[in-house]
Amino acid sequence: MINFQNTLIRCSSLGAILTEPKEKAAKDAGELSKTAKTALIGTYVREVYSREKDITTKQMQKGITGEENGIELLSRHQGEIYTKNETRYSNEYLTGHPDIITQDNRIIDTKLSWDLWSFLPNITEPLDKAYYYQIQGYMALTGAQSGSIAYVLVDTPQEIIEQEKYYLLKRMNCISEESPEYVEAAAGLEINMIYPDIPLDQRVLIFKVERDEEVIEKIQDKVRKCRVFLQEFSQMHKDFNK
């Protein structure tokens, strides 16, 4: 049986791990939420069976393929040269791979919005707690005292645009790509996926995050509880049919 007492939690999972139970009694008792347990079962599968659940959406695909473009656009906006961090960091509790570590040791994590309709609502909303905890985790790993989440609106990579045009053609059930109704719809689709007409300063939204030692201590305490759950879950799995 695997010993989970040294299991490291990914910073990208901290939002789920730190989600509180809905039941007041469970919350008051410091129990893990169902959301946290679901995330931890994913950790269990990864560590025991060396498998990752493959969840790929078009938004995630844009985030991956457009990452360098996002960093380049952010660099232009900030007047600094940023480069993609290639190092994964780990400590006693966490592991994570920050997007950018600046020369003065600030953490920046970029979030590439799918389109204008998903980008602009961030203006009126507080920073997503999952992203806040993710940055706190990165700061715990690197010793950084400050960081930020940068929502960036970059042009959708051409291969994704062509993919979306293909899906559009199938949905419209047109005879061919030459059909006038499809040509018009495809042109409108592309306009919604590229943004050369939008000023640079309207395509970046930066949420600053300061290091919070109380939150980092809370994260560490939660990781210890996660390890206990994983150990107990492993035993339950082993004994389930006895």
The CATH number for 131's domain is: 3.90.320.10
Q: What is the pLDDT, as a whole number, of residue 64?
A: 85
Q: What are the φ and ψ backbone dihedral angles of 107, each rounded to 5 degrees?
A: -100, 130
- pLDDT, position 132: 98
User: What does the alpha-carbon distance between residue 96 and residue 167 come to, in Å, rounded to a whole number?
Assistant: 35
Please tell me the total count of domains within the chain.
2
Asked whether residue 144 falls in the same domain as residue 177, the answer is no
Q: What tokens were used for 69?
A: 């473009």
Same domain, 148 and 162: no
What does the pLDDT read at residue 135? 98
Asked if 20 and 225 touch (Cβ cutoff 8 Å), the reply is no
Contact 145, 116 (CB under 8 A): no
Q: What does the pLDDT read at residue 41?
A: 96
Let me know whether 53 and 172 are in one domain: no
Can you give the pLDDT at residue 242?
Answer: 86
- What is the model's pLDDT at position 2? 85
pLDDT per residue as tens, the chain (242 positions): 688 999 999 999 999 999 999 898 888 888 899 999 999 999 999 999 999 887 778 888 898 888 999 999 999 999 999 999 999 999 999 999 999 999 999 999 999 999 999 999 999 999 999 999 999 999 999 999 999 999 999 999 999 999 989 888 888 888 778 788 888 898 999 999 999 999 999 999 999 999 999 999 999 999 999 999 999 999 999 999 98
Residue 187: give the domain boundaries.
Answer: 158-191
Asked if residue 170 and residue 100 are part of one domain, the reply reads no
Q: What is the CB-side half-sphere exposure of residue 213 using CA atoms within 13 A?
A: 0
> Does 79 share its domain with 54?
yes
Q: 173 with 73, same domain?
A: no
The verdict on 103 and 9 lying in the same domain is: yes
Check whether residue 89 and residue 206 sit in a common domain. Answer: yes
From residue 78, how far is each of 75, 81, 103, 145 by CA, in Å?
5, 8, 14, 19
Same domain, 117 and 210: yes
Please indicate, yes or no, whether residues 11 and 79 belong to a single structural domain of this protein: yes
Same domain for 128 and 178 = no
Based on the fold, state whether residues 54 and 171 are members of the same structural domain: no
Q: How far apart are CA 12 and CA 135, in angstroms?
A: 9
